[in-house]
Amino acid sequence: MHDLGWLALAILAAYGCAILAPSWPFWLGRRAGAFVGACIAPLILAFPLLIPPSKVGLRAGAMFVAGELFFKMIEALRHERRGAEPLSLRDYYAFLVPLPVLAAVYPDHKRRLTQRENPIPNLLRLVGGGVGAAVAVFALLASSKLDAIRASFTLNHVVMLLAFTLAIASISRALHGLERLAGFDTRPIISHAFLSRSVAEFWQRYNYRIHDWIYQNVFLQVGGRRHPARGVLLAFFVSGVFHELTFALATSRWTGYQLAFFTLQGPAAIATGHLAKSAGVAGRIAARACTLFFLALTSVLFFDGVASIFPFIYVSRSPLPW
């Protein structure tokens, strides 16, 4: 209970700051208030530091919540910069509600079902997704006891990727069912991403909600329509900086691996864009194989940070230097 108190403190502080943010334009005027709001948004990411550094899992959970609030506050500021009327307090506070999960582009959270659905399919998605995630975790824990897994990082990494694929697809399915039951007109956060024929297609299918946020708040803001290569490279660089920062705050460990991972994705997405148009069965299979191999190889960098939060995913020695 004491540990949960730290988590509650960090989350309440982050939400309290986000809730108070709209008061600055009232006191300082619209422009000055918007500037202060832009300064407050990154401050949200510091509240997980209220949790003791030894509680890495709790910090990571608080960082997820803080990250979602950060995205939504930046989106609210962009909405105002477009020359549109500022969000009303009611709309802003409704936007902060964490359901649908990671719906960080306004007004995605307002998409409601126009008619009632049969709840059974969505209940099956929710239950089936939960079971799938549990199976993935138990399978990974069971495999970690095998001598072959402990002796070979390559084998350990492959097994971990298979378990991760099952877990993340199951969680996406469960959340989709929950959101539909709550009346939201959403689609799964991850849409068959692991069948992608190019790196670019993978990142469009993987967590499309944050992809849309990066497209609106980074890609378009740097002239990505006229200079797509520049927009793609900067989008992945910003994503890398964000992941590096959040993992470092959660784990008290700065390695540069997150930044390296996402920085590598940009050139790969540009270079392999044509693979998604591969013709013929053999071409499609080869494109998918190349995409999966590249992602599996570079993901060693990403999962080094994940292993700092969930140590059980790797039981063998990593080839990374630290």
How does pLDDT run across 265-316, given as a tens digit for each residue? Answer: 999 999 887 766 766 778 788 888 889 999 999 999 999 999 999 999 999 9
Residue corresponding to tokens 């999962």: 303
Direct distance between the N- and C-terminal alpha carbons of the chain, in angstroms, rounded to an integer: 34
β-sheet bridge partners, residue 33: none
For residue 113, tell me if it sits in a domain.
no
Contact 113, 184 (CB under 8 A): yes
Contact 40, 15 (CB under 8 A): no
| pLDDT at residue 216 greater than cutoff 70 | yes
Q: Quick one: average pLDDT of 257-265?
A: 97
For residue 276, tell me if it sits in a domain.
yes
The pTM of this model reads: 0.91
Residue numbers of the domain that contains 238:
119-313
> Are 82 and 135 contained in the same domain?
no
> Are 173 and 262 contained in the same domain?
yes
For residue 322, tell me if it sits in a domain.
no
> Are 59 and 165 contained in the same domain?
no
| pLDDT at residue 25 greater than cutoff 60 | no
Angle at 253 between CA 306 and CA 242, to 5 degrees: 65
> Are 66 and 201 contained in the same domain?
no
> Are 26 and 135 contained in the same domain?
no
The region of weakest confidence among 27-31, 80-84, 212-216 is: 27-31
Q: Final residue of a domain: which of 98, 127, 150?
A: 98
> Are 150 and 287 contained in the same domain?
yes
Confidence of residue 1 (pLDDT cuts 50, 70, 90): low
Average pLDDT, the chain: 90
For residue 106, tell me if it sits in a domain.
no
pLDDT reported for residue 279: 65
> Are 62 and 136 contained in the same domain?
no
| pLDDT at residue 110 greater than cutoff 70 | yes
Query: Rounded to whole angstroms, how far apart are CA atoms 179 and 176?
Result: 5
Residue 189 DSSP symbol:
S
For residue 271, tell me if it sits in a domain.
yes
How many structural domains comprise the chain? 2
Query: Rounded to whole angstroms, how far apart are CA atoms 24 and 297?
Result: 46
Confidence of residue 193 (pLDDT cuts 50, 70, 90): confident
> Are 145 and 196 contained in the same domain?
yes
For residue 108, tell me if it sits in a domain.
no
For residue 320, tell me if it sits in a domain.
no
Q: Final residue of a domain: which of 98, 128, 163?
A: 98
Confidence of residue 44 (pLDDT cuts 50, 70, 90): very high
Confidence of residue 39 (pLDDT cuts 50, 70, 90): confident
Q: Quick one: average pLDDT of 137-161?
A: 96
| pLDDT at residue 163 greater than cutoff 60 | yes
pLDDT reported for residue 29: 55
Confidence of residue 164 (pLDDT cuts 50, 70, 90): very high
Q: Quick one: average pLDDT of 213-218?
A: 94
For residue 321, tell me if it sits in a domain.
no
Q: Final residue of a domain: which of 40, 63, 98?
A: 98
Q: What is the largest CA-CA distance in the chain?
A: 65
| pLDDT at residue 245 greater than cutoff 90 | yes
Residue corresponding to tokens 């080094």: 304
Which residues have CB under 8 Å from 76's CB, separation 6+? 37, 87, 92, 95, 106
| pLDDT at residue 171 greater than cutoff 90 | yes
> Are 263 and 190 contained in the same domain?
yes
Which residues have CB under 8 Å from 65's CB, separation 6+? 11, 14, 98
> Are 152 and 281 contained in the same domain?
yes
Contact 248, 254 (CB under 8 A): yes
> Are 239 and 196 contained in the same domain?
yes
> Are 75 and 167 contained in the same domain?
no
